[in-house]
Amino acid sequence: MGGRILELRVHGVSNTPPAETLGLTTEPGGEPAHPRLVAGGPVTGFYRSPIASPDPIVVEAYSWGQLTSGARTARDVERALWTLLLPFTLANVALHARPGIPADPTTDRLTSRSGMTAWLIRLFCLSLTATPVLAMTGVGVDLIGWQCVDHDCLNRIPGPWNFLASPWWQQGGRAMAVGLTVPLVMIAVLGLVTWRTYQYEAVMPADPSTNPAGRRTPPPVDADVPVGQPVQEPPPAPEPPPGPSTNPLQDPTFWWGEGQLRRTAVLHLCTGIVIAAAVPLGTVSVLDPPHGLRAVITWSAVAAFTAVLVITLVAIGRPFLTRRDGATPLGRWSIAVIVLTGIGLAGTFAVLLLPDGAAGSPLAELRPPVGCDDDPTRPGCLTDRSLPGFDRVIAWLGTGQLLLLIAIGSTARSGRRGAAAPAAAALLITLSALWCRGWLPAGPPVSITLSQLTLPLLGLAAIGLLLPRTRPDGVNQPLEPHTDLAWHGRAPAVIAGFGWLLSLAYGTGVLYWVTNQLNGGGSPGNRHRVFPPIPVTWAGLTFAAALLLLAVVALRAMVLFRRLRRAEYAELTARDSRLSAHDLRRARDVSAHQALHRLVGEHALRLIGWYAAAMTVLAVLACAAVLACPLPQNSSNGAAPLIRGVGAVGDALLGWLPVAVAAIGLLVYRKNTIRRSVGVIWDVGTFWPRAAHPLAPPSYAERAVPELLTRTTGLLALPEHDPRRVDGIILSGHSQGTVICTAVILQMPARWRHRIWFFSYGCQLTRLYGRVFPAYFGPDRLPVLAEALTRPGNSTRWTNFWRDTDPLGWPVAAGERDIAVTDPEALHPSDGEVADPPIRSHSGYPEAAEFHRERSRVAWLLRRTVPSPRRGVS
């Protein structure tokens, strides 16, 4: 059985079944073919055909899709809920979209452009964790613990909440102490989900050919070993000293992130607890200044929380946290953060449960009294009944996040000079807020309002996004048309910005939905008992405007698609003037696929950039409006009714957004058609390890890459006489499988690469990954893969297949050959066929004639030129 060539196929999105990947067919009326598992398990496994074939090229399929797609089981529901963590996923992806990441991660410094951008992204990720925490704090502390003061309101909450209407719980902050459990429960759920996903970050051996002395590896089930014949394994060949890294994916610790994940998870979860507890603790401390025992407890809690935030802000920029290696989940600093958080939380509950102090007004007199819905003119029945100061907290958090995003984009594009404008704007906005409130000791009299200063200062910050781009030395970009940097180097800000907008939409949607339920679901005759924070109403108006902008961009995409389709149709029909009506109809179908190929490859990123630019302007205006004034409520003149109506529509849509996203996530995991539509975005996001946001869904590549590396190098390390031996491996990757294979090859020991040939088809390495992730697949990093597959004096062992009807497959121009696959084979049936040749688009590459010809040629080259592994040969 020696002398074989193994084609190891790695599928892309959609969780392609192993039988389909292997090309197994079922005869009419026959039983479906079931592939044979030869390695791995039911979640990730390697499969071969159950029927022996005389073909010397053995085909094996690696199935990894159940790490993300599921198998229509109860676990699909849990995975579908991961879609609610999509904002964290996008923020985590932004870290890997930085340009200028050094090939050796140990050389990255905080003062460099890459290091500064990484620190800003990690800081933004911390603030992003605070967004859902604040939303649930608004639900528990504001809506339930502060505004719900009667039995009718509390009866609408699932669970035994009626006791909060008793006089004892209405005193001081006792009801808020109960409401504080809502965000704490959410944080506990996030921690549990993160803990359950640690299994995906399994560390596997990078060189499985090295076994302890005296241990023999039993043959797998696909081996035909005579009984009693010993399997002798020579010592492994010595590996030459590795040279300097030329691509970050060569870092041996890139996929070993469990230690870093646990360290950052502690910081994020404890920071979330600090944010949740700070809202009621700060409110009670301001409205009822503490004295005596209350003061001791209050300032002890404040000191503990401050220490947690200081340690966290310092830690996210230090190497002990950001390193990938290290199996220690908790160091002394992590334990200190946990202890300090526990002390502060205990002090917060103690302050909230103590009776009112003597310095300020009793909190019960500041809460909305019972009966405001029947008589809004009663004393204390204000239009804004939300927790005092909570509106300002939400507004300032959103403004700070916007400034961070501008700083991320400016720094990633222009380095330290780009960060100067947003840093100056943040300082001036802070000083302006203190000045307008009269808190500056030596400030002049206030003659203007904060609303007059916020908008121009945010505009000043945005100037950093327009500065000239810093171009590294020695990089010739682009390699070919439509391979330049995505969004001119602002990719981290664009990706993180979409995560921010989605996170805000989730949070405000939850607040609006809970408010609507507490007010009776909007039924006629029900009065408003509780009111959401004012930024929620502004968010509804902004969300409606964002949907309108999205419709405009979609309309522009449709116009472009129709124009491209007409051009492709004209080119197809111009080749032959004698086409029949049937051929013309087929030409219209083919031209639609070709137009989609060009739309995605040439225009998609630019359309996204236009939408991102419009959303930046809208976000600046929204933040300025939230800090300036509330929405008009009582006026019936002018545009006020229209603004209220649009805001109400946006609020209603926001209320259903989290439910809609979770439902789409469930359909993605259960229906292949929907998964093919959105699976690209999901699988791109969850490919990258959780190096920035530990609460994001797990990275399937943390498991897929080490498993595939172990399988390939393990087979190549077998001795010459072993019946499982193969002369070479064709690593065949489709779509997202191409990216997985790239990571495997760059991690592979050098002594095995000369027995590998790389097939890529439906490949996005240049048009998508190279533009959005230039540090890994850019014009100065993608050739590293070609060099790894090149031997001195020989050609590059890399063949790329593409179709002009494939919206996700394009030429690469970095390997040996770029082969254009004809699709369809003809416009009409031929060679005795009675059906039209199918338009395969993104699928069916291994069935193409060009693929079979190239595979036969490569197999002959691998047998002819590749020596058998012997001792001393590297």
Q: What is the pLDDT of residues 629-644, one digit of tens each?
A: 655 454 455 555 666 6
Query: What Cα–Cα distance (Å) separates residue 544 from each residue in 13, 72, 132, 136, 654?
Result: 32, 35, 21, 23, 9
Lowest mean pLDDT among 27-41, 423-437, 483-497: 27-41
Give the model's pLDDT for residue 687.
92
Across the range 723-752, mean pLDDT stands at: 91
Q: Are 424 and 460 in contact (CB under 8 A)?
A: yes
773-828 pLDDT per residue, tens: 999 998 888 888 988 888 766 778 999 999 999 999 999 877 678 999 999 988 88
Mean pLDDT of 387-410: 93
Q: How far apart are CA 778 and CA 775, in angstroms?
A: 6
With bands split at pLDDT 50, 70 and 90, how would you rate the model's confidence at 446? low
Q: How far is CA 67 from CA 34, 374, 703, 732, in A?
A: 21, 54, 9, 20
pLDDT tens-digit readout, 86-124? 899 999 999 999 998 998 887 888 888 999 999 999 999
Percent of the chain with pLDDT strictly greater than 70: 79
CA distance 125 to 496: 9
DSSP string for 804-856: TT-TT----SSSSEEEEPPSSS-SS--TT--SPPP--TTS-GGGSHHHHHHHH
Q: Which of 59, 68, 52 is nearest to 21 (CA)?
A: 59
pLDDT value of residue 2: 47
The band of 211, judged by pLDDT with boundaries at 50, 70 and 90, is: very low
Q: Write down the pLDDT at residue 481.
A: 78
Least confident of 429-443, 696-710, 754-768: 429-443
More confident residue, 407 or 222: 407
pLDDT-derived band of residue 870, with 50, 70 and 90 as boundaries?
A: very low
In whole angstroms, what is the distance from residue 121 CA to residue 102 CA?
17
Beta bridge partners of 733: 10, 760
Residue 327 has pLDDT above 90, yes or no: no
The pLDDT confidence band at residue 678, using thresholds 50, 70 and 90, is low
Compute the mean pLDDT over every residue in the chain, rounded to the nearest whole number.
82
pLDDT tens across 706-728, in order? 999 999 998 988 887 778 788 89
Cα(120)–Cα(454) distance, rounded to whole angstroms? 22
Q: What does the alpha-carbon distance between residue 644 and residue 665 come to, in Å, rounded to a whole number? A: 32
Q: How many CA atoms lie within 13 A of 11 on its CB side?
A: 29
- Report pLDDT for 639: 55
Strands (E), 371-497: none
Question: Rounded CA gap, 138 and 134, in Å?
Answer: 6
Residues 689-699 have a mean pLDDT of: 90
Q: Which of 252, 17, 65 is nearest to 737 (CA)?
A: 65
Q: CB neighbours of 190 closer than 8 A, spacing ≥ 6? A: 269, 272, 695
The single residue listed with the structure tokens 């490859």 is: 601
Most distant CA atoms of the chain, gap in Å: 97
Strand ranges of the sheet holding 45-48, from the earlier edge strand across to the other edge? 36-40, 45-48, 57-63, 4-10, 726-734, 756-761, 798-802, 817-820
pLDDT number for residue 676: 57
Q: Of 66-80, 155-169, 641-655, 787-801, give the lowest mean pLDDT range.
A: 66-80
Residue type, 641: P
Say what the pLDDT of residue 31 is.
Answer: 67
In this prediction, residue 230 carries a pLDDT of 44
Q: What is the DSSP letter of 34?
A: -
- pLDDT at residue 43, as a whole number: 83
Say which amino acid occupies 428. L
Give the tokens for residue 605. Answer: 């990123």
pLDDT band at 218, cuts 50/70/90?
very low
Between 321 and 409, residue with greater pLDDT = 409
* DSSP H/E element including 265: helix 258-287
pLDDT tens for 507-536 read 988 898 888 888 876 555 555 578 888 888
For the chain, the C-alpha Rg in angstroms (whole number) is 30
Collapse the DSSP code of 168 into the 3-class scheme (helix H, G, I; strand E, B; otherwise coil) and give the result: helix
**Predicted confidence band at 625 (pLDDT cuts at 50, 70, 90)?**
confident
Q: Give me the mean pLDDT over the 552-579 stretch.
A: 93
> What is the pLDDT, as a whole number, of residue 719?
82
What pTM was computed for the model?
A: 0.90
Task: State the pLDDT at residue 131.
Answer: 96
Give the least confident one: 339-348, 723-732, 758-767: 723-732
Q: Hey, what amino acid is at 743?
A: A
234-243, 678-687, 845-854, range with greatest mean pLDDT = 845-854
The mean per-residue pLDDT over the stretch 136-143 comes to 94
What are 170-191's pLDDT values in tens digits? 887 888 999 999 999 999 999 9
